[in-house]
Amino acid sequence: MSSRRLVLTCPVGFEDLVRGDLLEDDGVRARQIDPGLLLVESIGDLTFLEHATAIDQVSVPLDLSTGVAISLREAAVGRLCERVGVDRIVHYRVHSPGDPVQRDAVIAEVDRALGWINSPGDWDVNLDLATSRADIGPLRWAARFGRLDRLPAATPVAVAACAVRLAKVPAEGVLLDPCGGVGSVPIVDALVRPTGDGLVVDALAEAVDLAAGNLRRLGLTERVSVRQGDATALEVADHSVDRVVTDLPFGKRIGSNEANRTLYPAALREIERVLTSDGRCVLLSDDKRLLKDAVARTHGLKIVRERVVRYNGVTPTAYTLARSRRLRERRTADAS
């Protein structure tokens, strides 16, 4: 049985990257229908979701003009649930913001026509009447890869996955996140990259504890290490890191714009110090002018690509930085 149509939710600003990877890696063709939403027609094999860390949610589009129950039946939502491991009568919830009368009517219709169980706290299907989609619970990111303990301003895991994708981490490379929070960046990398090491550094003890717990729960302690430390004074050897990926404090939900005037230049100097001669880094920041000024003042690094994205109510830019050619050539010559 093939699923007729699926809507995949990915981070806003990374749609083209996700579409390209789906096609190149899995032969799955998708087209963007809205910011952060990709439509895929007639998927027979869902195994691509086992490594699609940039896909946050999977839904079935519904034509509600025929009625909710009929639309669910025609879209084979129940059979899809069986296919992805639901071994009970389908439990569901109805999302109908501001319209309890409509919600109650849909619950009565689905109960009567399909025999499903309305269970808002333990659901397999979320019927979102506002978007005309049925979200499939077992295909959510946390259900596919594991739940992460998080802090309020933590980088969304799908955003972290896209940032790692931009970094092009070598198979055996070392990946560092110097403002690592709960460990999202090295975790999403280790979930799909079978070899290589990761390192999480964060100044907050609470974040370090949560990151350590996430690594234990996902069985990644042999691949990723975590320590409390200062992004401006890393206890990391010179030229020992292949890639740096981090979500820098914007000065909005974490830190302050004034603090960033000190943090950004100092952190960039440390990133330049620890990167290998062919190293690369991806930095997410909404303090864009300050970040660009800091890069311009950092010897040996240059911005090679920019991508505006959106998450957590802000629109930061993902900056890809590489070694300047002159410094790369000099260090290569020194090594030989």
Q: What is the pLDDT of residue 329?
A: 54
CATH classification of the domain holding 88: 3.30.2130.30
Reported as a pLDDT band with limits 50, 70 and 90, residue 258 is low
Regarding whether 306 and 216 lie in a shared domain, the answer is yes
Say yes or no: 133 and 162 in one domain.
Answer: no
Whether residue 151 is contained in a domain is answered as no
HEC string for 258-299? HHHHHHHHHHHHHHHHHEEEEEEEEEEECCHHHHHHHHHCCC
Say yes or no: 95 and 209 in one domain: no
| Residue-wise pLDDT tens digits, 121-171 | 999 999 999 999 999 999 999 999 999 999 988 899 999 999 999 999 999
**Is 318 in the same domain as 185?**
yes
pLDDT in tens, 181-227: 999 999 999 999 999 999 999 999 999 999 999 999 999 999 999 99
Average pLDDT over residues 26-48: 92
| Segments forming the whole domain that contains residue 277 | 157-335
pLDDT at residue 2 greater than cutoff 60: no
Q: Domain of 281: which CATH number?
A: 3.40.50.150
SS3 state at 321: strand
Same-domain status, 118 and 28: yes
297 and 205 together in one domain: yes
Q: Say if residue 137 is in the same domain as residue 177.
A: no
Same-domain status, 81 and 127 = yes
Q: Of 119, 144, 169, which residue sits at a domain end?
A: 144
Say if 139 falls within a structural domain: yes
Within a domain: residue 150? no
Residue 136 and residue 185 in one domain? no
Residue 261 within a domain: yes
> Is 22 within the bounds of a domain?
yes
Q: Are residues 80 and 222 in the same domain?
A: no
161 in the same domain as 137: no
Q: Same structural domain for residues 136 and 236?
A: no
SS3 240: coil
Q: What is the mean pLDDT of residues 30-35?
A: 98
Residue 98: per-residue pLDDT = 87
Q: Is 216 within the bounds of a domain? A: yes
Within a domain: 272: yes
**All residues at 6 or more sequence positions from 277 whose CB lies less than 8 Å from its CB, including other chains:** 239, 323, 327, 328, 331, 332, 335
Find the DSSP H helices in the chain.
15-26, 68-74, 77-83, 100-114, 141-145, 157-167, 184-192, 205-218, 257-274, 288-296, 325-335
Domain for residue 149, yes or no?
Answer: no
Q: How many domains does the chain have?
A: 2
